[in-house]
Amino acid sequence: MYPERLKRAREAAGLSLRALAEQVGVSQTAIKKYEDGVNTPDSSQLLKLAKALAVRSEYFFRPFTVQLSADVEYRKRANTPVKLLKRIHADVEEQAERWQELTNIYPQFPIKPFTLPAGLPASVNTLDDVEQVAAFARESWKLGEDQITDLVDVLETQGVLVIFSAVEAQTKFDGLAVRIGSQPVVVVAQHWAGDRQRFTLAHELGHLLLQGRLTAGLDEEKACNRFAGAFLLPATAIQRQLGQHRRMIEWQELYLLKHEFGLSMMGCLYRLLDTAIIDAKTFDYLLKRYYFSGWRTQEPGNVYPAEHTILFKQLVYRALAESWIGESKAAELLGMPLARFHRERKLEGADAVTDQ
Ligand SMILES: [Zn+2]
């Protein structure tokens, strides 16, 4: 077995050495020795480890194909616990490995590599230039000026893969960007509300488009936030809906805008300022009211529906149909027990229509 696998699975499960040792009924030192490759567990212990960590025992023998590099951008908050980061990291690595494996199964991978839209300006000097880049990307990808209903689909069409991590991370992590081979990948938490997922996805897209173009003095994080807002809610669209200049805005207007464009009320508020529909004074007033109402933690009304992806599953089934893989490999790639996969394949039961 690969000792590192055990460590990864343990971190992914969020278990300490001691917690795992207790579950398996061996000493903490014994687990440590397995992880360091000093000792190897026998087959019955291996089964117990697999059970405790909710992986198949084959997992421990799978060679490594993906190593997340140190330049991974964690959009994390300063107080993100290290333990949580490790769990997210392990989960993403695991999913990235499945992507890598799937990529290798295809004689020719059916997703085009990510390329920058032709004619992107070589240098971006101001936040208004960033606004132009967002408009340019929309135009190049023929997205028009209306809302983007399925942002994940837009990214996947452009060769940016999206991984959803189910690791519990309500407020502690802001998404991250990695690469599988040359394919850029954006990771978002599955449990987030849709507007938060979309902002992160658009922000990371901003990094891909703006990297190496920003003049010194322009903060990349700020630029990517501006990009995200402009990409999700173009200036032309917000001006068309709310007018060119406004003295005051009703909260209901922001609420409706949020649910049309999938950008948080806070995001919409910033768009009003960025597009000069309201002045700084009105913005400050509204922002204060927003904070005062406690909406920073949770915005009022219905939650914007979450994004989802079907691409990975689609490609697994396609590979199965083409006989490039068998049923057990397909089940393994989808991370589900063979029996459940069998039912899903035959469209039996509710599993068949739900993704993830
Ligand atoms: Zn960023």
Instruction: Please report the DSSP string for 195-241 in residue order.
Output: HHHHHHHHHHHHHHHHTTTBPTTS-HHHHHHHHHHHHHS-HHHHHHH
Mind listing the domains of the chain with CATH numbers?
Answer: 1-64 (1.10.260.40), 69-309 (1.10.10.2910), 311-353 (no CATH)
Task: Tell me the pLDDT tens digit for each residue of 178-200.
Answer: 777 778 889 888 888 999 999 99
Asked whether 163 and 186 are in contact (CB, 8 A), the reply is: yes
- What pLDDT score was predicted for residue 350? 61
* SS3 category, 313: helix
Task: Tell me the pLDDT tens digit for each residue of 19-66.
Answer: 999 999 999 999 999 999 999 999 999 999 998 988 878 778 877 666
Q: Does residue 237 register a pLDDT over 80?
A: yes
- What pLDDT score was predicted for residue 335? 87
| Distance, CA of 345 to CA of 356 (rounded, Å) | 14
- What pLDDT score was predicted for residue 54? 80
Neighbouring C-beta atoms of residue 139, cutoff 10 Å: 14
Ligand 1 centroid to Cα of residue 218, in Å, is 13
Ligand 1 centroid to Cα of residue 176, in Å, is 8
Instruction: Indicate if the alpha-carbon torsion angle 112, 115, 117, 118 is positive or negative.
Output: negative
Ligand 1 centroid to Cα of residue 221, in Å, is 5
* SS3 category, 162: strand
Residue type, 206: G
% of the chain at pLDDT higher than 90: 65
Q: Does residue 354 register a pLDDT over 80?
A: no
Ligand 1 centroid to Cα of residue 98, in Å, is 25
Ligand 1 centroid to Cα of residue 25, in Å, is 43
Average of per-residue pLDDT across 285-313:
96
Task: Tell me the pLDDT tens digit for each residue of 115-132.
Answer: 999 999 999 999 999 999
- Tokens standing for 96? 């990235």
Give CB contacts under 8 A, 24+ apart, made by 139-144: 141/117
Ligand 1 centroid to Cα of residue 103, in Å, is 27
Ligand 1 centroid to Cα of residue 254, in Å, is 25
- What pLDDT score was predicted for residue 356? 46
Ligand 1 centroid to Cα of residue 23, in Å, is 39
Q: What is the DSSP letter of 124?
A: B
| Distance, CA of 124 to CA of 148 (rounded, Å) | 24
178, with CB counted inside 10 A (0-12, 13-18, 19+), is buried
Task: Tell me the pLDDT tens digit for each residue of 138-182.
Answer: 999 999 999 999 999 999 999 999 999 887 655 566 677 777 777
Ligand 1 centroid to Cα of residue 200, in Å, is 8
Ligand 1 centroid to Cα of residue 152, in Å, is 18
Task: Read off φ and ψ for residue 178, nearest 5 degrees.
Answer: -135, -175
| Distance, CA of 328 to CA of 58 (rounded, Å) | 12
Asked whether 151 and 200 are in contact (CB, 8 A), the reply is: no
Ligand 1 centroid to Cα of residue 19, in Å, is 35
Residue predicted with more confidence, 288 or 176: 288
- Tokens standing for 6? 């055990």
Task: Tell me the pLDDT tens digit for each residue of 311-347.
Answer: 999 999 999 999 999 999 999 999 888 999 999 999 9
Which residues, other chains included, contact 269 with Cβ-Cβ below 8 Å and sequence gap of 6+?
A: 254, 283, 286, 287, 290
Task: Tell me the pLDDT tens digit for each residue of 62-119.
Answer: 776 665 654 455 554 556 677 777 788 888 888 888 998 898 898 888 888 899 999 9
- Tokens standing for 100? 């890598």
Q: What is the DSSP letter of 42?
A: -
| Distance, CA of 310 to CA of 292 (rounded, Å) | 39
| Distance, CA of 188 to CA of 335 (rounded, Å) | 19
Ligand 1 centroid to Cα of residue 199, in Å, is 11
Ligand 1 centroid to Cα of residue 223, in Å, is 9
Ligand 1 centroid to Cα of residue 203, in Å, is 6
Ligand 1 centroid to Cα of residue 64, in Å, is 28
- What pLDDT score was predicted for residue 65? 65
Ligand 1 centroid to Cα of residue 117, in Å, is 20
Ligand 1 centroid to Cα of residue 241, in Å, is 29
Ligand 1 centroid to Cα of residue 74, in Å, is 8
- The radius of gyration of the chain from alpha carbons, rounded to an integer in Å, stands at 23
Ligand 1 centroid to Cα of residue 73, in Å, is 7
Ligand 1 centroid to Cα of residue 174, in Å, is 9
